[in-house]
Structure 1
Amino acid sequence: MRITVVEGDITSQDVDAVVNAANRGMRGGSGVDGAIHAAGAPEVLEDCRRRFPHGLATGDAGWTTAGRMAARWVIHVVGPNRHAGETDRSLLTSCYRRALEVADELGARSVAFPLVSAGVYGWSREESVDAALEVFRSADTADTGVDEARFVAFGRSAHELVRSRVESPGGPG
């Protein structure tokens, strides 16, 4: 699997699937979640209501249509909220692992990822990138059908941080 890094808006990525850093209720929110629901239009929310009437557990993932975005699917992951006491790193790595598993179920070859739980959920960008790289570079994901895992960093400083960690020879994973 090739790991790439781009600076930009995850909602405009021309990939098979975009990953949404969702909340447990799966009804939209702020940050990446709000942007994806806005760009996908009502179709994303309607599909969330239909597929996930009770939401999802922290660390889990599921998919919906991408609505009006260029991608075909949205893979929703519920990241851990450090501020709410969810400090178990395995919940964060589970988001990336489950996203790849769902991508495989869908047959998605290219997947755009945000920095899950970085931001309002209190995990640092470094922790989020390192958790993703641990999963992307592990032997467990050697059999994935995903050809490209694309980090989409919003803003220059985030892009530089992600790029430097991905390119670091001694980095995680």
Structure 2
Amino acid sequence: LRKLCILDEFVFNTFTKLNSWSGSFSLRSISIIISANLHIYSALLAACPNLVRLHLSVSFIDKNSLTTFHHTNLKHLQLRLSTSEWSFDMFERFLVCVPNLQRLVLQRFTWNVEKSNLNLENIHFVRILNQCLPYLHRFDCDILFHSRANTININNLRQLHSCFTRIQLERKDEIERLYTNN
């Protein structure tokens, strides 16, 4: 039985290819790179009902491609965002699919310059975590910000959510990095 699947640069051209995954009950962990269509996220959740761990790298967002699917077994989600275009609405639509998530790892190595984009200090981000992920007990991150656009108060950030207490802040030149250590 296959329990781990790594799909680097794998391209799903049609939904029929994803349908061939239906019944992938033994897959427990998947690592995949998505470069265009977030529909693959929902399709993977639907095709792999026993999936517990998902490592997802997203390099481009088609805001209209995300469909929601309720998956109750996923416990660990690692999101590596290669774009800064994630809005609060997109993030909420992404997390509402996995309400039993216990661990979330968020990585972003391109910084956003607009306050409307995903920002950990924003109370809207914390509200999304509280509403969508009631079982979340561990949050890890490695996120870059441009210092001129976002000034981060690490003490305030740590008080926003119980999972934020391990977050560290590093400043170098005009870049701020939020990260957690194991």
Report the TM-score when normalising by structure 1: 0.37
The structure with the greater share of residues assigned to helix is 1
The structure with the greater share of residues assigned to strand is 2
- Compare CA radii of gyration and give the structure with the larger one: 2
Report the TM-score when normalising by structure 2: 0.35
Q: Which has the higher contact order (CA 8 A, sep 6+)?
A: 1
